[in-house]
Structure 1
């Protein structure tokens, strides 16, 4: 994911915190978050692109849509029979990343309104359990998986063997290092409306609620429940084609710097999204025999990532630990 140009970064740091997030959202700027405007010629990314490569130039700002509101499937709180016997700290904390890490382990998200986890067994994807709730669920860089899925569907007919080497490198960069320029280059290969192509993929697996725009897909609402549906469909080979689904799962292997949260509990494939200390940090993936999604909104200190944006690493690790205990 590209870092911002030094002069722009200095300008952002001088702004008061209360101005920063609204400004970013209004402009549609985000490294791991909303998809930036495309560069005229796309990034120059080789198939061996690594996350630690030097950053590309900052993307051109675009106008984003207003932040979405919460949806009703985020307020279900169903506890698992498995309950830890450790000290139960409070799950929340003041927004903006100012809270110190809470001591001990989470024992429940029931009643929490700023963190949630959702899971379903791959053997019965309709048996969805939700614990906790969140006020918003913008996709941020989890949307990169949808962009690649739409590319596989419309450009190569669901056959990953037909992906040109250059575009294969862009996909790898987008899904492992969450590279923003790379995913824009992939999106630009989709004929017609990228939003319509992404939405068609979602409709094909039974998601009738999520709709994608043509630009700034990171700003779209994609609930944890629908992400669990998507991951279960991937595991079943139902996203675009069995070959495309297997390819996507194989590419969802974050770099070491991004392997917090689900990466600490043995997820075989996962993708995250984040932006600032006041916005959502989230992940979706496969853990053992389950499709899972976890999310938190502004809880705890936020840690700067390789793209220059910030993620709630500590809280995501705690939620992932609790999820692992729920899954038994």
Structure 2
């Protein structure tokens, strides 16, 4: 797990270790951010009704076709467009590719940096950040993990039983990210599998940890 209080966003704590750090579907949030930057100029009001539907599908149901349709509208190459979004918030290490963004390595530390920046209105623009926070509300079938501890915005990523399951989000004044390879995997609506039971347990441990931090 990784977390940072929004009052001290640069003080990021990382606990535990999972070797695999592929972004999987958490990359969809970054793709949408780059879309908002390159296509809408940071203004969500400039998005067409069709693209709003695609964003909703991408960030709530983790729809792959929807996010690819958005990515393909980004002017120029998608990789550099996403990289610009990250560099603008201080991420100097993550390097998004032009295709198969789910395979990119995006550490939980840098995901916390991203979510903290979003909470402070620094991902693309204040309006874009607010739009993303409101859009990151998974469908009930994906409301495990951070969804069990009251996250106001979150997105998960998963693939197979032998790969990591992860989430990034905002919980009670903290930017957070969790990742695990533990336990059995449960089939999801996209046909892939997620370590739901382990993510629920990890989220509960995170909630306890954040409660301790607030009591100090």
Please indicate the TM-score interval, normalised by the length of the shorter structure.
Answer: over 0.9
Match for 2:196 among 287, 297, 313?
A: 313
Q: Structure 2 CA distance, aligned partners of 1:162 and 1:133? A: 41
Ranges of 4+ aligned residues in structure 1 off by more than 3 Å: none
Give the drift of 1:130: 1.1
Equivalent residue number for residue 120 of structure 1: 4
Give the drift of 1:129: 1.1
TM-score after normalising by structure 2: 0.97
Equivalent residue number for residue 175 of structure 2: 291
**Residue 37 of structure 2 corresponds to residue 153 of structure 1:** yes
Equivalent residue number for residue 134 of structure 2: 250
Superposition CA RMSD, Å = 0.5
Alignment: residue pair count: 211
Structure with greater Cα Rg:
1
Equivalent residue number for residue 73 of structure 1: none
Match for 1:238 among 119, 122, 138?
A: 122
Q: Which has the higher helix share?
A: 2
Structure 2 residue runs without a partner (length 5+): 212-216
**Residue 93 of structure 2 corresponds to residue 209 of structure 1:** yes
Q: Structure 1 CA distance, aligned partners of 2:49 and 2:142? A: 25
TM-score after normalising by structure 1: 0.64
Equivalent residue number for residue 143 of structure 2: 259
Give the drift of 1:127: 1.3
SS in 1 for 2:75: coil
Equivalent residue number for residue 75 of structure 1: none
SS in 1 for 2:15: strand
Structure 1 residue runs without a partner (length 5+): 1-116
SS in 2 for 1:133: coil
Q: Structure 1 CA distance, aligned partners of 2:201 and 2:185? A: 14
Give the drift of 1:227: 0.1
